[in-house]
Structure 1
């Protein structure tokens, strides 16, 4: 199988679109199931536990300040079903018509995501501005380990300038260390240290080594 380009091997899986903007800055516009979504780490775990069942069902969708929240998973998506702080901006018939088109896109992106789970070169990137709790990151690592041939990269902040831009191997997952995360309302204002983390990960675990590991 042909290897993906370096930046495209990374897949954003939460908590928000900050890493999606990092990829955009590096010239990557590949679509992804969660690239532009708001998906807390606990919701990501729930997706695996339920095997994505019923994702984006019309009956579960709620207005959420300009986005659409899947109440079953507590994941918010950007869609053409518009909302504000009060409620929906479209009537139900209009929303159902829009949903009929967008659910097909979600299904396509989900199929693509399942395929990437089987690619040993893909690295799934998760972060939370408040930090991913240790017990949850272990559960996520186990969930990815059971379902994915790739790696999980959990990005955390560190107060130590000497550690910024480095990665640490934890066996079930790799930890990347950054100086700061972008504020949620300004997710495109990301730290340049993201680029250092990606470069450090490439040195630590290049695609060829991942492929060899998966066939060992």
Structure 2
């Protein structure tokens, strides 16, 4: 007898955060999801991974198979704030950060490289769309209508069996983290909040992992989101409780207090420092956060200054440099002199988030 409904499959075990987010590809509207992928430990190639893409222009580009993107006279290189170089499509309105700066690199020297890059990535995306294996992610800015998203989906599915995950910010009507089917090929998920457009590096990796895990389960008919691989044993731990006090006034982002050297790190790997923090009822500071000294931070969670008198978990992650095996961790504290917090259960592990590989 043939069952009427196919039984859902069990979730695969031990999927890393990077492997999960690698099953998705960004279609804008900005670089936030691409940043989340980096925080999960991957930097996949993608035409729109670190690009702004208004939905009407994106839909038109898909409908025309990106025929004019990167064509003669389409791409111009602009110098932005801080000397950063951006590429802009005159035809479609897309823009992305090249990772280069002026005057170290001139716009003219960059143009040929970026034209070749766009040509390669658009052919790669068209091949991926035809295969239909990846889940496409559209981060929906305020005001982006469902009708516009469905038109984009129709254009995508004219090329191949696309699955599109529309991600919206919580607005009080839909539970944060929920993912549902909204028709054939279209899912909708909800994040607690988006990172500010001026600070996409504030991407909330934990929330993106939760939404993508549920979308992955729906797409692959799993009974539950795949459990993510746990981190290994800590390379540093300090379980005792200590109090840290600002010796002098410090404006944001704060100064490092209670620095602690850590050895035994593996080069070119994600590592995360985590701890529990308690802000006293009379907390007068403006920021309390963990940090790796002199390192670019990835995923992080600062202390919530509205939560007083209770323990809360804070963390900060970074990727070690090539040949780096040591680092200094500590508490970044901002506020007037005498600002104090209590800390306990310091841990440094290899991974993108506390407890995750």
CA spacing shift, 1:50–1:161, aligned 2, 3 Å: closer
Q: CA deviation at 1:39?
A: 1.0
Structure 1 partner of 2:212: 198
Q: Among residues 63, 79, 83, which one is paired with 2:98 in the alignment? A: 79
Unmatched runs of 5 consecutive residues or more in structure 2: 1-17, 223-357
- For residue 194 of structure 1, report the CA deviation from its aligned partner: 1.4
Cα deviation code 1:103-133 (max 9, x no counterpart):
1121111121112112332111011332421
After TM superposition, where is structure 1 displaced by more than 4 Å over at least 4 residues in a row?
Answer: 80-83
Long gaps (5+) in structure 1: 84-88, 209-216
Aligned mates of 1:90, 1:129 — CA distance in 2 = 34
What residue is the counterpart of 1:185 in the other structure?
A: 198
Computing the radius of gyration from Cα coordinates, the structure with the larger value is: 2
SS of 1:78's partner is strand
SS in 2 for 1:46: helix
Matches within 5 A, 1:95-114: 95-114=107-126
Q: How do 1:137-148 and structure 2 match up within 5 A?
A: 137-148=149-160
Q: Distance in 1 between matches of 2:169 and 2:139?
A: 9
The answer to whether the 8 A contact 1:167-1:177 is kept is yes
Cross-structure match for 1:41: 55
Q: Which residue of 2 aligns with 1:60?
A: 74
Count of matched residue pairs: 198
2: distance between equivalents of 1:141 and 1:202?
A: 18
Query: TM-score of the superposition, structure 1-length normalised?
Result: 0.81
Q: State the partner residue of 1:124.
A: 136
| Residue of structure 2 in register with 1:70 after alignment | 89
State the superposition RMSD in angstroms.
2.6
TM-score by length of 2: 0.50
Question: Take 1:161 and 1:28, find their aligned partners in 2: how far apart are those partners?
Answer: 33
Deviations 1:183-205 (A, max 9, x none): 11111212332111011112212
- Cross-structure match for 1:50: 64
Deviation of the 1:80 alpha carbon: 6.8
Q: Which has the higher helix share?
A: 1
Flag the structure with higher strand content.
Answer: 2
Structure 2 counterpart of 1:213: none
SS in structure 1 at match of 2:172:
coil
67-76 vs 127-136, greater mean Cα deviation: 127-136
Shift of 1:7: 2.0
Partner of residue 29, structure 1: 43
Do structure 1's residue 149 and structure 2's residue 161 form an aligned pair?
Answer: yes
Conserved in 1, the CA contact under 8 Å of 2:70 and 2:119? no
